[in-house]
Every structure is written in C-alpha cells, then in structure tokens.
Amino acid sequence: MTYLNRRNMLLAGGVGGTAALLGMTLIPPARQLEAQELTVEDVLFDPDNPVLGNPQGSVTIVEFFDYQCPYCKANHPVLTEVVEEDGDVRLVLKDWPIFGAPSVRATQLALGAVDVGGYELALETLMATEGRLSDAAIEEALEEAGLDPTELDAAYRANRGKWDGLLSRNSFQATQLGLRGTPAFIIGASIYPGSMDREALREAIEASRT
C-alpha cells in the first residue's frame, strides 16, 4: 500500500485541473466479522432505512445527512437529479442529526412519515427549507406540504423502538467509518466526505460499477 501524492492522483484520475475528493473503499468480507464490526451490508442495506430512487438499483448511494446542514440541503437537488437520470441507483438517506434538537425533531417526523406513506414528501419538504429550523418551522413546512405533524409524530412514537434503533445505528456507523460530518456519501464501497456536485456523483457511480 502506498500513500498517494497529489501528482500521481491527478495522473490517475486524469481530471486535470479539477481538484478531487478522496474516496475510500470498504472491503469487508461480509458478515465474517464479529457482531460489533461493521460491514458494507450494514451500511448499504439497513433493513429499517427507507430507500429512495430505484430500490432494485445495482448501485447504492448512502448519504449521512442532517436537515439543518446547509451543504446537505444545497446538495440535495443535484443528488436527486443524478439518481433519477441514472435510473439504476438506490438512494439511502441516513439521518445523522448533528445540529441539535430541531434536527432530531425533523428526523423523527420524517421517519414517522414512512408508515403513513409520506416519507419522500416529508424529506423533500424539509430539505427544501431554508437555513436553521425550529420545531414550529418544521411543523409549518410539513403542514404546508399537506402532512399532519401530529399524525407523523404518532406514527414515529408507535414505532419508536425501530426508529431510535436506526438512528443509533446510523450514529454508530458514522463513528466507525470515521465520518467527520455531514454530508458524507458512501457510493458503492467508497466514502466521499462533503458536498458532491453532479460530475463528482456521476464519476463515483461509474467508479462503483467497475
């Protein structure tokens, strides 16, 4: 194993003047590790996490995100477009609330929306909000989108064990993967920290197919 330097990375990538992000691949022999160890399966195919895009897609994009993280929100339209255009991508948005109580609240209501069939709407609505959130702003936005926050809250509470378990797995995975913050993408088996534009996403998808 060698550490790459900037020169050979640029040559290898052939992207020229464009600076690059570092991706890292997880190569775990699935399930051979101890229970506490992390596998690609665990990260890409958590059974409780709702799936967007094409659920049967051959490539999985996981994003660790927060509803108040500005770069997650700015990045979201591009991500959605790329996933749609490709048509063969499973999109898994993993809630990792790092911006305090409103983020946790937004996460709870969006997950609650899974059981009432409104997850995608709730998620898109919350990702389209501007800036910092408050509990009131979250509920208002959801209401405007035609969702009932009380119903979402009740749905979340009804399955609290499942959702809280998912959130704690997400947080555990983020730590195990050494993620430094949100957004963080796992595409195929590589980690891409930080915001990704259209081209970066496309390339990462391609890279995971080879």
Partner 1 sequence: MTLILFRATQSALIALLAVVIALMSASPMAAQSSIFSSDRPLPAQEAFALSVSEQPDGTRILSWEIAEGYYLYRDKLGAQSESGTPIPLQTPAGASMDDPTFGSVEIYSSSAQAVMGPVDGPVTVTWQGCQNGGICYPPVSETLAAVEGTSTAPVSDGVALAQDNGMIEGLHARGGTLMVLAGFLGFGLLLAFTPCVFPMFPILAGILTGQGRDLTVRRGAALSGVYVLAMASAFGLLGVAAAWSGQNLQIVLQSPAAVYGVAAIFVVLALSMFGLFEVQLPAAWTRRLSSAGASRGGTFGGAATLGFTSALIVGPCVTAPLAGALLYIAGTGDVTLGAGALFALGLGQGIPLMIAGTLGTQVLPRAGGWMDGVKRLFGLIFLGMAIWLIGRLMPGPVILALWATLLIGAGVFAGAMDLLPKEADMGRRGVKTLAVLSMLTGAIMAVGAALGGNDPLRPLAVLQNGIAGPTNEQIAFHTVTTPDALDAALAGEPDAPALVYVTADWCVTCRVIERDVWSDASVQAALADVNLIAVDVTDFGEDGQRMLDRLAAVGPPTMVFLDRNRVERSGTRIVGDTGPRAVQAAVEAVR
Q: Which residue has the tokens 């660790």?
A: 64
Residue 161 in contact with partner 1, rule: CB under 8 A: no
d(CA 169, CA 165): 6
**Which residues between 167 and 196 bind partner 1 (CB under 8 A)?**
176-178, 180-184, 187, 189-190, 192-196
Residue 87 in contact with partner 1, rule: CB under 8 A: no
Looking at the Cβ atoms of 152 and 186, the one nearer to partner 1 is: 186
Among 28, 54, 151, 162, binds partner 1 (CB under 8 A): 28
Q: Which amino acid is at 189?
A: A
Nearest residue to 75 (alpha-carbon basis) of 185, 178, 169, 171: 185
DSSP code at position 33: S
d(CA 129, CA 141): 8
Residues 6+ apart with CB under 8 A from 160: none
Q: Which stretch binds partner 1 (CB under 8 A): 68-76, 82-90, 115-123, 150-158?
A: 68-76
> Which chain residues interact with partner 1 by CB under 8 A?
1-4, 6, 8-10, 12-15, 17-29, 33-34, 37-38, 66, 69-75, 96, 98-100, 130-132, 176-178, 180-184, 187, 189-190, 192-197, 199-200, 203-204, 207
